[in-house]
Each structure stands twice: as structure tokens, then as C-alpha cells.
Amino acid sequence: MRNRDQILLEEAYELVQLNELFESPYPFAKDNKSSFLATKYIFSPSGNPSSFPQYKVSFDLDPREVSLTIVFDYQSDELAKPTMDLTGSGNASKVMGTIMAITKEYLNELIASEPDDLQYAEISFSAKLSEQGRVKFYDTLASLLTKFLNQTTAARQIEWSWSSLENPTNTNSSKGYFIKAKPKSKVAQPSGEENTETKSSLNKFL
């Protein structure tokens, strides 16, 4: 049985590997139909973002709920139905690295354009429990995004953390990931309690 130190070492090694992969993503582009509240990026293993097979990374911002939902799709050809498969092209590691690079670019632009209004937004995405590879990647993605956000917003009095929610009794259920920020100087509120400051922080987006 592996001890705690061995587990931590393996996790650290995996993060180093992923960080190296993130340095050379596929070329990607913002979809020309994107809007401020619904932004979409596309990329392809072919090197031409608009060609197929194609991956799509969508960011849906909801100012009323102060939330940002990230959705990942894969489409094998123009007539095919988009799926949630992240590894359709066979190069999963580079696909994952590109998704991370796109997400960081989007968050950088959003934070730069609205530095005061994203302070308490909740970022969420999900994966089916049956997709073990996808779940493993999302665990890492949540950790890296949390670290990235804490570095990006270090000058503010907020601290980002992530949590997950799943129902292991249902094989078709999903594991939800939630990345949130809270004031460093305040005690975290009990689950389910509304934060009026949070609810109004993105009103300028409307």
C-alpha cells in the first residue's frame, strides 16, 4: 500500500508533466460568433482551428448567478453530433494542455477587463463518473486553475479554492467541479447561505 508521501510525490510528478504539456498547445482561435457572455474557442489537432476534427471550449457567463460554466465538446466532422469526448483525436495530453491554455487566456482577459466584478464568481464544469480519464484530468485542471487564479488575483483580499460533488451510486451521474473565491478576512458562509455581495458583484455585465 502506498503511503501518503508516495501519493503526494506521484501527484506532484503528474502536475509537472502536465505543466510541461501546457507550454505547447495546439493553435486555437476565438469563434467569430462569440459574445461577452458566451465565448467559444476552437482548435484542431490538424493545426488549423477551423478544420475537423475539432474541439470547442465554451465559457457561459451568468451575471445573475455570478457563475461561469465551462463546456468542452469534440466533433469528428462537420455533420457529426458534438460529444463530450476529449480524446477523440488520440492525443489526449496535448488536447488537455490546449484546454488549459485556452482557459487561462480567457480568465486573464476577463479579469483584466472587469477587475472588480469577478471577485466572487463561481467557475464550474463536470464529467461523467464513467469517464475516468476525463475525471482525472478535471481533478488536475481544477487544482491548476485554482493555483493560477490565486496567483493572478494575489493583490486582492480573496482566496480561491475548489470542491467537487458526485453521486457514486449512479453510474450515469456526473462529478461537478466548483472553483470559488471568498474574502480572506471573512469566515466562509455555511453551505446554501446566499452572499448578497456575491449576487451583485457582476451586475455591470448586464
Give tens-digit pLDDT for 149-191. Answer: 888 888 878 888 999 987 666 656 888 999 998 887 654 444 4
Is residue 71 classed as helix, strand or coil in its secondary structure?
strand
Whether 6 has a pLDDT exceeding 70, the answer reads: no
> Which residues, 6 or more positions from 59, have their beta carbon under 8 angstroms from its beta carbon?
38, 39, 40, 68, 69, 70, 106
Rounded to whole angstroms, the Cα distance separating 32 from 15 reads 33
Residues written for the chain: 206
Whether 10 has a pLDDT exceeding 60, the answer reads: no
Residues 108-122 have pLDDT tens digits of 888 777 655 555 678
Mean pLDDT computed over every residue of the chain: 75
Rounded to whole angstroms, the Cα distance separating 152 from 85 reads 30
86 vs 60, 132, 141, CA distance in Å? 19, 12, 13
Residues 47-95 have pLDDT tens digits of 999 999 899 999 998 877 778 898 888 888 888 887 765 555 557 778 8
Rounded to whole angstroms, the Cα distance separating 26 from 188 reads 39
Whether the full predicted model's pTM is greater than 0.85, yes or no, is: no
- With 0-12 / 13-18 / 19 or more C-beta atoms within 10 angstroms meaning exposed / middle / buried, residue 54 is buried
Domains and CATH numbers, the chain: 4-205 (3.40.630)
Residue ranges in 1-114 assigned as alpha helix (H): 4-21, 92-113
Whether 36 has a pLDDT exceeding 90, the answer reads: no
